[in-house]
Amino acid sequence: MTQHKRILFTGGGSAGHVTVNLALIPKLQAQGWDIQYMASKQGIESQLIHNLPNVKYHGISTGKLRRYMALENFKDPFRVIQGVYEAYRLIRNMRPDIVFSKGGFVSVPVVLGAWLNKVPVIIHESDMTPGLANKIALPFANKICLTFQETLDHIQSTKAIHVGAVIRDEILQGNAERGRTRVLFDKKLPVLLIMGGSLGARKINEAVRKNIRELTKTFQIVHICGKGQVDAAAEHPRYLQFEYIHEDLADMLAMTDIVITRAGSNSIFEFLALGKPMLLIPLPRASSRGDQILNAESFKRAGYGELLMEEDLTDASFLTKVMSLYDRREEIAGNMRAYKRNEAVNRVLELIGQFSK
């Protein structure tokens, strides 16, 4: 009887730390791999992965890697240590051929547990500069795959390899007509889609809702506002809001003319692959390490959209940028068509195969 190869995925804390894994898992399943996933017990990754067939999920203790003072900072090291112990024991029994980590604080105990079991580890970094979790994980990994070529300047290591953006196949297979039928939108009117991230974006949500009347003079709006962020008071026939969209996301994107989004790497590269002009409103430095600002500036320089810093976000600046993006949509879409999608998925799959032999 042929023994299937086994891969253990990890990554979470946000949808962005799961997206790359979601792109790779079906490809590896088609090759006959046994797929396991290890991350937090109740994070968003557990919800997303439980929707996948034939993927066994293992929840472990995790802490959060904070850059600010908080009482939980004193408790989390013990949770991380507990998570490393749990991961070590599970991996020892599971005996995977390789571990693939997308990052996020939940991945650190898994990477350490794999290293202690002498299991090869590949990690993936989507943003221009590496996140804290991946900085911690890098000494214990065999390779780190990079989305941006420029990231090689930030990681002085022979372990670093530029692979490009890993895009989910299903995101490219949407049907605009099916999307409009789903939400009963008029084919003659343009569609504006707002995606603030898996947890939403409060300031973006507020800006959209304060300006619904003005925006709906031009657009029909799909607003993905984040868990618990739906506002029942914000009603308009041309405005629909959702906490999150799963199965219908590809169809919603297919019917979309322009997008308002944060600047997480996975999302913006998917919008680029789809040719959707973007208004980028990155997380400010006050609440992040500044990675989204770098991502957004790179895309702005390439001509893929407009940039609006959150600290400059007012009703007037917001509406001006949205209308400028719409007016320039054909020019921006032309810039996007010049972007050549690489074979990032195949490059990562080849790397996984090499290290699992």
Task: Check pLDDT > 80 for residue 61.
Answer: yes
Specify if 84 maps to a domain: yes
Q: Which two tokens stand for residue 24?
A: 């790779």
- Condensed to tens digits (0 to 9), the pLDDT of residues 295-326 reads 999 999 999 999 999 999 999 999 999 999 99
What is the number of other CB atoms lying within 10 angstroms of the CB of residue 356?
18
> pTM for this structure?
0.89
Give SS3 for 188: coil
Pairing of strands 278-280, 258-261: parallel
Determine the pLDDT at residue 1: 40
Q: How many CA atoms, within 13 angstroms, populate the side-chain half-sphere of residue 234? A: 22
Q: Which two tokens stand for residue 355?
A: 């290290």
User: Do 268 and 234 fall within a single domain?
Assistant: yes
Query: Which range of residues forms the domain containing residue 228?
Result: 170-337
Packed helices 265-274 and 291-301: angle between N→C axes, nearest 10 degrees: 20
| CATH number of the CATH domain containing 180 | 3.40.50.2000
User: Do 196 and 159 fall within a single domain?
Assistant: no
Burial class of residue 55 in the structure, from the number of CB atoms within 10 Å of its CB (0-12 exposed, 13-18 middle, 19+ buried)? middle
User: Do 149 and 292 fall within a single domain?
Assistant: no
Q: How many CA atoms, within 13 angstroms, populate the side-chain half-sphere of residue 319? A: 12
Determine the pLDDT at residue 175: 97
Quick one: DSSP state of residue 107? G
- The total domain count for the chain is 2
Determine the pLDDT at residue 198: 56
Quick one: DSSP state of residue 347? H
Task: Check pLDDT > 60 for residue 82.
Answer: yes
Determine the pLDDT at residue 246: 83
User: Do 162 and 174 fall within a single domain?
Assistant: no
Burial class of residue 111 in the structure, from the number of CB atoms within 10 Å of its CB (0-12 exposed, 13-18 middle, 19+ buried)? buried
Specify if 225 maps to a domain: yes
User: Do 230 and 312 fall within a single domain?
Assistant: yes
**Which position has the higher pLDDT, 27 or 63?**
27
Specify if 248 maps to a domain: yes
Q: For 65-69, 255-259, 293-297, 345-349, which range has the lowest pLDDT when averaged over its residues?
A: 65-69
User: Do 107 and 178 fall within a single domain?
Assistant: no
Task: Check pLDDT > 90 for residue 14.
Answer: no
User: Do 111 and 255 fall within a single domain?
Assistant: no
- Condensed to tens digits (0 to 9), the pLDDT of residues 322-341 reads 999 999 999 999 999 988 77
Query: Mean pLDDT across the chain, nearest whole number?
Result: 92
| Mean pLDDT (whole number) for 168-177 | 94
CA–CA separation, 342 vs 339, rounded Å? Answer: 9
Specify if 144 maps to a domain: yes
User: Do 88 and 35 fall within a single domain?
Assistant: yes
User: Do 108 and 179 fall within a single domain?
Assistant: no
Amino acid at 254: A
Specify if 292 maps to a domain: yes
Determine the pLDDT at residue 257: 98
Task: Check pLDDT > 60 for residue 25.
Answer: yes
User: Do 73 and 51 fall within a single domain?
Assistant: yes
